[in-house]
Every structure is written in structure tokens, then in C-alpha cells.
């Protein structure tokens, strides 16, 4: 009898017996209302264009004649058979790999040197970050004038008795020149990020390691490197995405030449879509580039996140 009364009087616990606090529904509606404009903007500017691009990639599109016909995966098959696209993809991935390794390595090196002299960094930080905020077209044109056959770099080399190489005219060096222009911008960004990460490390850790007799290399390997891992993640992702979508530097510096030796996927998309009026093929390239970018970003993020250490 007592248990029956107790079961009747006491409220049951669990999900069914919980009561929502007063006004919870209105707060939820308010949050949804505030997020609706951003969601609609994201859908209009990101989701819808991606959907249209995927649709075009499965069709033969001719904007001049206002014609569109279903071809299925024919555009993707053409890309697989196209030597020009495979070369553009190779150039893009090659520059992406170099743009991840070089800016991270040099950026961390410069950050360690600058962190040792804080006054020097305070003076130079604006100059260091300036290349990253410059327009890619400006950077490309600057490197074009510098690396031209009669440019300032070759003139300086010839003054030293060293014949200047054909930075832009040579198919192999043209790719190197594009990579140098992009790396110059990314090194500046990486340096600033790494200096901020180094300054966030407590000095007590280094003092304790010094008391224990740890060498400079051991302090870097056991303290600095694990604790700057979040900065490595940031710079790697920014460098990777910047390289995979590379377009402006190539247009301003080499135009994809000589021939199509330094053409990237970004430039190939513009050329196919606007110069050759092959919107379906260009859309297929864009979809593949999106898939490659998303896949490499997710893999890089998962791998790098494992190395991150929280203080």
C-alpha cells in the first residue's frame, strides 16, 4: 500500500517525466529565427551553386545557344582521358605539397628566431604579415617582373658572373616560380601564427627542462613541437586550400605557360568554361577539385589533430 501511494505521489524520473522550463519553446524559436538569415545566405551562396555545378557537370551545356543536354558521367570520363587535365592536376598537387612543407618549415624556423628577440618581432611583425594580405595578382605581377629574363634577379646574378635561368620561359622552372610566389605569401602567414603559438607556451616548462639538463633540441622536440601542433594544423589547412584553388598567381605570373606546362586546375576550369564555352566540362573539373579539397582537408585535419596537446 505504501509503495503504491509513494509511486502515485512522487513524480517518475526519466525523459518522460522531465518538464521543459517555462519559455524554452520561445527561446528555441528565437534562436532559430536569428540563425535563419545566416542559414538562408549560406544555402543561397554555397549550397545552391554547388548543386547547380553538379547538375551542369552531368550535362553538355552551351550558353551561347542556350542548350543543355544530359550526358551523365561523360564529362568525367573525358577528364580521365584528357592529358591536359591530368597534367594540370599533377601541377596543382605538386604545388600543394610544396606549399605545405616549405611555409611550415621556414615559418617555424623564422618564428623561433624572432621569438628569441621579442623587440625585433615587434618591429618587423607588420612587415612580416604584409605579403599575406597583398592581392595574389599583385604578388604574381611582382614575381613576373622580378623573374623575367631581364628582371632584377637575373641582372643581379649576371653581375656576379652567374648566367640567369629562364624562370618563366622554362616549363619546369615556370612551375617552380609559381610555387615560390605562393610560398612567399604563406611563409609570412605561418611565421606570424607560429610566433603567437610560441608565446603561448609557459616559460616554466623550458625552465624545468633546463634544470633537468635537457638540450635545446630536446626542449624543442618534447615541448615546443607538441605544443605548436594546433598552429601546424592551421597553417597546413590554409596552405593546402590556398594551393589547391591556385589561380591568380598563375594568371599574373605565367598565364599557364609556356604552353600549358604551369596550368593548374583552377586555371583549367576558367579556360574550359569561359574561353572554350564548355561549361559542363568545367563544372566536372570544379566538382572533382571540390572533392579532392574536401578529402585532403578532412584527412589532414584528422591526422594533425592527433598530435595536438592541450595545456
pLDDT at 295: 93
Among 198, 199, 97, 183, which residue's Cα sits nearest to residue 132?
Answer: 183
* Residue 126 pLDDT > 50: yes
Q: Is residue 205 predicted with pLDDT exceeding 80? A: yes
Position 6 scores a pLDDT of 45
Q: Does 24 sit behind a cis peptide bond, omega within 30 degrees of 0 on the bond before it?
A: no
Note whether residue 61 is domain-resident.
no
> Is 124 a residue whose pLDDT tops 80?
no
Nearest to 131 by CA among 187, 55, 53: 187
Task: Answer whether 222's CB lies under 8 Å from 210's CB.
Answer: no
The answer to whether residue 211 is domain-embedded is yes
pLDDT in tens, 298-311: 988 888 777 665 54
Query: Would you state the pLDDT for residue 221?
Result: 84
The answer to the question of residue 311 being in a domain is no
The answer to whether residue 281 sits within a structural domain is yes
Q: Which domain holds residue 150?
A: 74-305
Average pLDDT, the chain: 83
Whether residue 155 is contained in a domain is answered as yes
Q: Decide if pLDDT at 161 tops 90.
A: no
The C-alpha atoms of residue 260 and residue 34 are separated, in whole angstroms, by 49
Q: Evaluate if residue 192 carries a pLDDT over 90.
A: no
Least confident of 12-16, 24-28, 198-202, 293-297: 12-16
Looking up residue 194, the CATH number of its domain turns out to be: 1.10.3720.10
Over 60: is that where the pLDDT of 91 sits? yes
Do the domain assignments include residue 131? yes
pLDDT at 8: 45
Position 4 pLDDT exceeds 60: no
Residues 215-274 pLDDT 10s: 878 888 888 888 888 889 889 999 999 999 999 999 999 988 888 889 999 999 999 988
Give the three-state DSSP class for 4. helix
Residue 259 placed within a domain: yes
Residue 54: per-residue pLDDT: 92
Structural domain total, the chain: 1
pLDDT of residue 62: 82
The mean pLDDT value for 1-20 works out to 48
| Grid coordinates belonging to 11 | 513524480
Enumerate helices (H) and strands (E) in the chain, giving the number of each: 16, 2
Instruction: Transcribe 168-236 into DSSP letters.
Output: TTSHHHHHHHHHHHHHHHHHHHHHHHHHHHHHTS-HHHHHHHHHTT--HHHHIIIIIHHHTHHHHHHHH
At residue 89, the pLDDT reads: 93
Q: For the segment 267-298, what is each residue's pLDDT rounded down to a tens digit?
A: 999 999 888 889 999 999 999 999 999 999 89
Q: How does pLDDT run across 167-182, given as a tens digit for each residue?
A: 988 888 999 999 999 9
* pLDDT tens-digit series, residues 25-62: 566 667 777 888 888 898 899 899 999 999 999 998 88
Q: Which residues pair with 61 in a beta bridge?
A: 68
Query: What's the confidence (pLDDT) of residue 123?
Result: 67
pLDDT value at 106 more than 60: yes
**Residue 126 lies inside a defined structural domain of this protein:** yes
Nearest to 93 by CA among 304, 271, 246, 261: 246
Amino acid at each position: 500500500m505504501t509503495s503504491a501511494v509513494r509511486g502515485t505521489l512522487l513524480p517518475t524520473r526519466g525523459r518522460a517525466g522531465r518538464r521543459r522550463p517555462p519559455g524554452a519553446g520561445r527561446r528555441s524559436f528565437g534562436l532559430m529565427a536569428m540563425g535563419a538569415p545566416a542559414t538562408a545566405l549560406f544555402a543561397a551562396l554555397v549550397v545552391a551553386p554547388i548543386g547547380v555545378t553538379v547538375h551542369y557537370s552531368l550535362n553538355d551545356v552551351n550558353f551561347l545557344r542556350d542548350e543543355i543536354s544530359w550526358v551523365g558521367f561523360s564529362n568525367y570520363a573525358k577528364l580521365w582521358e584528357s592529358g591536359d587535365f591530368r597534367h594540370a592536376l599533377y601541377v596543382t598537387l605538386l604545388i600543394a605539397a610544396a606549399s605545405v612543407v616549405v611555409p611550415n618549415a621556414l615559418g617555424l624556423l623564422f618564428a623561433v628566431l624572432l621569438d628569441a628577440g621579442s623587440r625585433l618581432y615587434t618591429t618587423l611583425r607588420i612587415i612580416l604579415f604584409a605579403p599575406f594580405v597583398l592581392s595574389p595578382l599583385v604578388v604574381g605581377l611582382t614575381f613576373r617582373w622580378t623573374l623575367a629574363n631581364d628582371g632584377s634577379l637575373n641582372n643581379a646574378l649576371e653581375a656576379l658572373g652567374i648566367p640567369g635561368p629562364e624562370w618563366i620561359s622554362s616549363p619546369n622552372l615556370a612551375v617552380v616560380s609559381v610555387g615560390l610566389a605562393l610560398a612567399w605569401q604563406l611563409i609570412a602567414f605561418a611565421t606570424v601564427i607560429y610566433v603567437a603559438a610560441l608565446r603561448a607556451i609557459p616559460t616554466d616548462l623550458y625552465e624545468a627542462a633546463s634544470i633537468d639538463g635537457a638540450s635545446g633540441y630536446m626542449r624543442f622536440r618534447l615541448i615546443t613541437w607538441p605544443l605548436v601542433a594546433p598552429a601546424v594544423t592551421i597553417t597546413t589547412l590554409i596552405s593546402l586550400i590556398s594551393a589547391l584553388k591556385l589561380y591568380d598567381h598563375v594568371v599574373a605570373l605565367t598565364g599557364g605557360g609556356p604552353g600549358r606546362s604551369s596550368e593548374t586546375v583552377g586555371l583549367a576550369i576558367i579556360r574550359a568554361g569561359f574561353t572554350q564555352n564548355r561549361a559542363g566540362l568545367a563544372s566536372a573539373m570544379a566538382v572533382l577539385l571540390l572533392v579532392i579539397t574536401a578529402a585532403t582537408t578532412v584527412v589532414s585535419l584528422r591526422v594533425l589533430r592527433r598530435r595536438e596537446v592541450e595545456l
